[in-house]
A and B are shown apart, each in its own frame.
Chain A
Amino acid sequence: MVLAIRISDVTKRYGSFTAVDRVDLAVEQGEVFGFLGHNGAGKSTMINMLLDFIRPTSGSIEVFGADCRTDGVSARERMGVLPEGYGVYAGLTGRQHVQFAMDSKGVEGDPLDVLDRVGITDAADRDADGYSKGMAQRMVFAMALVGEPELLVLDEPTSGLDPAGAKAMRETILEENERGATVFFSSHILEQIEAVADRVGIMHHGQLAAVDTIDGLREKAGGETKLIVSVSDPDESLPETVEGIDGVESARINDEQQVEVTCAKHVKMDVLLALNGQNSEVLDVTTEEPSLEDLFVEYTRGSE
Chain B
Amino acid sequence: MSHWLTIARKEVRGLLGNRSAKAGVALVALVFVFGGYIVPTSVSNPTMVDYDGFLRGIVLFLVPLFGLLLGYRAVVAERAAGRLVLLLSFPHSRADVVLGKVAGRGFVLLGTLTVGVLAGAALVEYPFGTVALDAVAIYLGATALLGAAFLAIGIGLSTLTTSLRRATVLTFAVFFLFVVAWPQLDGYLYMGLEYLNLADETLPDWARFVHGAEPSLLYQRVLDSYVSTNKIRSGAYLGTAGPWFLQGGPAVVLLGAWVVVPTLAGYLRFRGTDL
A interface vs B, CB < 8 Å? Answer: 48, 51-55, 72-74, 76-77, 79, 81, 83-92, 96, 100-101, 103-106, 140, 143-144
Contact A52 B88 (CB under 8 A): yes
CB-based nearest B residue for A91: B17
A48 to B1, CA, bound (A): 27
| Interface flag for B229 (CB, 8 Å) | no
- In the bound complex, residues from chain A placing their C-beta under 8 Å from that of B274 are 48, 53-55
Contact B90 A101 (CB under 8 A): yes
Contact B275 A106 (CB under 8 A): no
B interface vs A, CB < 8 Å? Answer: 1, 3, 6, 9-10, 13-14, 17-18, 78, 81-83, 85-86, 88-93, 274-275
Apart from A74-B91, A103-B6, A104-B90, list 17 A-B contacts with CB within 8 A.
A53-B85, A54-B275, A73-B3, A76-B90, A77-B91, A83-B89, A85-B82, A86-B82, A86-B86, A87-B78, A87-B82, A87-B85, A87-B86, A90-B14, A92-B17, A104-B91, A105-B90
5 A-B pairs with C-beta separation under 8 A:
A86-B82, A89-B10, A90-B18, A91-B18, A92-B14
Contact A104 B86 (CB under 8 A): no
Contact B85 A103 (CB under 8 A): no
Contact A51 B1 (CB under 8 A): no
Counting from the closest, the 3 A-B pairs by CB-CB distance are A91-B17, A87-B82, A81-B89
- In the bound complex, residues from chain A placing their C-beta under 8 Å from that of B91 are 73-74, 76-77, 104-105
Contact A72 B86 (CB under 8 A): no
Contact A104 B92 (CB under 8 A): yes
Contact A83 B85 (CB under 8 A): yes
A81 to B14, CA, bound (A): 22
B185 to chain A, nearest CB (A): 40
Given A72-B93, A83-B86, A100-B10, CB of A48 within 8 Å of CB of B275: yes
B153 to chain A, nearest CB (A): 25
Contact A53 B6 (CB under 8 A): no
CB-based nearest A residue for B21: A91
Contact B83 A76 (CB under 8 A): no
A79 to B88, CA, bound (A): 12
A52 to B14, CA, bound (A): 25
A248 to chain B, nearest CB (A): 53
Identify which of B1, B13, B82, B89 contacts A92 (C-beta below 8 A): B13
Identify which of A76, A77, A100, A144 contacts B6 (C-beta below 8 A): A100
Contact B83 A86 (CB under 8 A): yes
- In the bound complex, residues from chain B placing their C-beta under 8 Å from that of A105 are 90-91
B119 to chain A, nearest CB (A): 27
Contact A88 B14 (CB under 8 A): no
B18 to chain A, nearest CB (A): 6
- In the bound complex, residues from chain A placing their C-beta under 8 Å from that of B275 are 48, 53-54
Identify which of B17, B18, B78, B88 contacts A53 (C-beta below 8 A): B88
- In the bound complex, residues from chain B placing their C-beta under 8 Å from that of A52 are 88
- In the bound complex, residues from chain B placing their C-beta under 8 Å from that of A54 are 274-275
Given A48-B275, A86-B83, A104-B3, CB of A91 within 8 Å of CB of B14: yes
A29 to B167, CA, bound (A): 44
Contact A85 B85 (CB under 8 A): yes
B54 to chain A, nearest CB (A): 36
- In the bound complex, residues from chain B placing their C-beta under 8 Å from that of A140 are 86
A48 to B60, CA, bound (A): 43
- In the bound complex, residues from chain B placing their C-beta under 8 Å from that of A55 are 274
A238 to chain B, nearest CB (A): 60
